[in-house]
Amino acid sequence: MSDITTTIKSRIKEFSPGKIFLTGEFSDVAGNTTIRKTLGRLCQTGEIRRVMDGVYEKPVYSDFLKEYIPTDPEAVAYALAGYYHWNIAPCGDIALNKLRLSTQVPMVWSYISDGPYRDFYLDKIRITFKHRTNRDISHMSTITVMVIEALKSIGKDNVDGEVISTLKTVLSDQDKETVLKESSNSADWICRAIQEVCRK
C-alpha cells in the first residue's frame, strides 16, 4: 500500500460514521487525480461511499435495519458550506420542517447562503443554496434566520394563531430572547409576529 493510500485511509479511520468529506480535504496529501483514484478504490471496498461528484461519506450501518442508512442531505449541505466557507441557514420547507410548521417530506433542501447561487444533487434530492448578502445573515444566529425564513415562506396573510402557538412551543426561552433581539430590523409584519411568539 502506498504512503498516499495509507495516509488517506488513516484520516478516514478517524472520521465519525456519517462524516461527509470532499476530495479537496486531502489536497495536502496528493494531486486531485491520485486522490480520486484512491477514494474510488475505497468506495469499491465499501469503506466509504460516493454521494455526488467529489463528495464522499463514511457510511453508517444500522444493526437494527441490517443495512446502511441513507445519506443525510443536511450533513452534505453543511459539509459543502464548510468546505467553501459559506455561512448558511435553512430556509423554505426545511425551515418549516425544523420548526414543526410542516410535516411534508421535502425534495428540495434549501439554504440561504452568503456564497453564490448553487445547486447540488443527492440522487433525486436537490440541495440548493440561495444567495443573500453577508450583512443579511452574518449578524443572525441560525435559529433567527430559520424563524424569519419560515415566516416568509408562510406569508404575511397566513401567519395565524396556530403558527404563533407552534413557534411558542418549539422555541426555548433562550431562542425567543435571541430571535427577538436579532430580528429587530426585519419587515414590520415579521417583527410583530415574532413579538407575539415571544410574548409571555
Segment 109-116 mean pLDDT: 93
> Residue 122 corresponds to which amino acid?
L
pLDDT over 80 (residue 136): no
Q: Which three cell numbers stand for residue 87?
A: 455561512
Domain with CATH 1.10.10.10 in the chain: 3-68
List beta partners, residue 90. 111
- Model confidence at 27, in pLDDT bands (50, 70, 90)? very high
Instruction: Quickly tell me which residue has 502506498 as its cell.
Output: 2
Segment 112-137 mean pLDDT: 88
pTM of this structure: 0.87
94 burial level (CB within 10 Å; 0-12, 13-18, 19+): buried
Over residues 146-168, the pLDDT tens digits come to 999 999 999 999 999 999 999 99
- Model confidence at 185, in pLDDT bands (50, 70, 90)? confident
Question: What is the assigned CATH class of domain 3-68?
Answer: mainly alpha
Q: Which three cell numbers stand for residue 71?
A: 445519506
